[in-house]
Amino acid sequence: MLEMRGIHKRFGAVVALNDASLSVNEGEILALAGSNGSGKSTMIKVLAGLVAPNSGKIFFDGKEVAIHSGTDSVKEGIATAFQDLSLIPTMSVQDNILLGCEPKKNGFVDEKKARKIVLELLEKFHIDCDPDDYVQTLMPSTQSMLEVAKAVYRKPKILLLDEVTASLHYDEIETLFGIMRELKAEGVSMIYVTHRMNEIFQICDTITIMRSSNTVISGKVSDFSLDDIVYYMTGARPEHSDTVAEKAEDFADRELVVDVKDLAIAPKVKDISMKAYKGEIVGIGGLEGQGQSEVIRAILGAVKPEGGSIDYLGKKTKFKAPADGVKAGIGFISGERNVEAMFPIRPISENIFAGNSAKNRMFKFLTKKEVRKFSQDAVDKYNIKIGKLKDPASSLSGGNQQKLVVARWIAMKPNLLLLDDPTKGVDIHSRQEIHDIIRECAANGMTVIISASDTEELMNISERIYVFYEGKVAAMLAGPEKTQERLVSAMMGINENKKEELAE
């Protein structure tokens, strides 16, 4: 039904697409997979009319079509949920959803109908907010759901979904998949970009894999194994090294780095106690919004708790602002890089170096050459795909921006590293590399606290996992207790009688 053939796109010296092709049939869900920077979002943007290819053709039902603008794309029945959301933060939920497609009566917006449509969509997507809420006040995951709801409202024949689940949690993904199955039954075609491999097997019929700007293979998902997919993405067979060393659970002789006691932060955090020892990687699991982000930000000094205490290196913390936490050797990486971590219009080199200058105040004594070398080393070590170091950070693909933020903080060698969904949008291969680097740092004495929306990632990286449920610790999983099943059921609040196992 839809076919893209031989698409080329250059951004200056960077070749984003080189002879890329794909096709999708009616009522089919096509997975578009590939490493960070391989060209997935650019393909999506070509279809959405935001990127003009240098050459290549697009066909609809065998007929060539021209997509030169967003309007052309909409005319062909395409709607898009973008990776870097298209919502306008300072506008209300209702205005964002309806933007440009308001229901009309006698030439005026039909307010009553508009309200009804929006309420129905919010209910369908299980989005818990008011139509009049400003988008900027909503959680990142809620914003992602809205981005999809907005696209679905446009009743597309073809729906493009670019990493929409990156900041969604377990329950939200279930809701989304339910809606996708409904649309599929109605004959809607979808192109689905994701780095979460299990989703490909769960929801997609066919797959096209990209590697360095090219589409290297297409076929039925059922004809591929996970190893096959990684192979086509990277050109190498994956090594099987996901055996996490089950370290002894005896912490008696280890230095206690973080000791959170009876923490309360209204409204989400009710009563959280947790510990992290020197050189340990501690996970925080749970569905969206069970207090994970708040606790992490409280340790950093960005959020003020109402009750309880936080000890860091044996002393009560009195951080007034995150900068105090950073001065005390605490690093913080968040998946919300646009809001919390990046300077999009500054060069890549400065973005990598920024953390170090904040800590050491030595930026001004360094030559450009030194900054460049420092940044180039990080680019090499983390495999960040860039054009030039002096390009703005916003020119990087989503996953490469995230790798840049990770590189910056780890380069600061913090004593305690706080990670709030750090590998959001990072491809499976780079994620392994980041995990390896985090493990190496932990082995050298860095303490790590990581919250992740992806349960597999959490299982893989953490030695112990505190599972949050309704603002309390529902379970602490360690050693043989740490299984995917226990994690998921604790996330749903199913396992209440595990409290006695909380390590003291």
Ligand X SMILES: Nc1ncnc2c1ncn2[C@@H]1O[C@H](COP(=O)(O)OP(=O)(O)OP(=O)(O)O)[C@@H](O)[C@H]1O
Residues near ligand X, by CB under 6 A: 11, 14, 16, 34, 36-42, 83, 385, 387, 395-400, 425, 427
Least distance between ligand X and beta carbon 118 (Å): 29
Give the whole-angstrom CA distance, residue 258 versus residue 313: 6
- Residue 433 Cα distances to 109, 294, 447, 456, angstroms: 52, 27, 18, 15
Give the whole-angstrom CA distance, residue 49 versus residue 72: 7
- Residue 76 Cα distances to 4, 59, 268, angstroms: 14, 11, 44
Give the whole-angstrom CA distance, residue 429 versus residue 206: 21
Least distance between ligand X and beta carbon 42 (Å): 3
Among ligand X, Mg ion, none, what does residue 279 contact (CB within 5–8 Å per kind)? none
| Complex with ligand X: residue 16 or 442, whichever CB lies closer | 16
Task: Determine the residue type at 245.
Answer: A
- C-beta of residue 232 within 8 angstroms of C-beta of residue 217: yes
- Residue 6 Cα distances to 43, 144, 350, 467, angstroms: 11, 31, 36, 48
Least distance between Mg ion and beta carbon 407 (Å): 18
| Complex with ligand X: residue 11 or 343, whichever CB lies closer | 11
- C-beta atoms surrounding 456 within 10 Å: 15
Residue 164: CB partners within 8 Å, gap ≥ 6? Answer: 81, 144, 147, 148, 176
Residue 197: CB partners within 8 Å, gap ≥ 6? Answer: 226, 229, 230, 428
| Complex with ligand X: residue 235 or 307, whichever CB lies closer | 235
> The tokens 């003009």 sit on which residue?
52
Among Mg ion, ligand X, none, what does residue 38 contact (CB within 5–8 Å per kind)? ligand X
Residue 246: CB partners within 8 Å, gap ≥ 6? Answer: 463, 479, 480
Least distance between ligand X and beta carbon 10 (Å): 9
Least distance between Mg ion and beta carbon 11 (Å): 14
- C-beta of residue 38 within 8 angstroms of C-beta of residue 429: no
CB-based contacts of 320-323 (< 8 A; 24+ apart in sequence): 322/297, 323/358
Q: Which residues of 255-270 are buried (b: 16+ CB within 10 A; e: fewer)?
A: ebbbbbeebbbeebbb
Least distance between Mg ion and beta carbon 398 (Å): 4
Least distance between ligand X and beta carbon 330 (Å): 27
Among ligand X, Mg ion, none, what does residue 14 contact (CB within 5–8 Å per kind)? ligand X
Bridge partners of 309? 261
| Complex with ligand X: residue 38 or 94, whichever CB lies closer | 38
Is 178 in a helix, a strand, or coil? helix
| Complex with ligand X: residue 317 or 401, whichever CB lies closer | 401
| Complex with ligand X: residue 151 or 281, whichever CB lies closer | 151
Least distance between Mg ion and beta carbon 470 (Å): 34
| Complex with ligand X: residue 97 or 404, whichever CB lies closer | 404
| Complex with ligand X: residue 141 or 395, whichever CB lies closer | 395
| Complex with ligand X: residue 41 or 447, whichever CB lies closer | 41
Least distance between Mg ion and beta carbon 162 (Å): 6
Give the whole-angstrom CA distance, residue 458 versus residue 456: 5
Least distance between ligand X and beta carbon 195 (Å): 6
| Complex with Mg ion: residue 14 or 488, whichever CB lies closer | 14
Nearest Cα residue to 398 out of 26, 10, 42, 8: 42
Question: Closest residue to Mg ion, Cβ-based?
Answer: 41
Among Mg ion, ligand X, none, what does residue 351 contact (CB within 5–8 Å per kind)? none
Residue 75: CB partners within 8 Å, gap ≥ 6? Answer: none
- C-beta of residue 221 within 8 angstroms of C-beta of residue 194: no
| Complex with ligand X: residue 82 or 125, whichever CB lies closer | 82
Among Mg ion, ligand X, none, what does residue 395 contact (CB within 5–8 Å per kind)? ligand X
Contact residues for Mg ion (CB under 5 A)? 41, 83, 397-398
Least distance between Mg ion and beta carbon 40 (Å): 5
Among ligand X, Mg ion, none, what does residue 11 contact (CB within 5–8 Å per kind)? ligand X
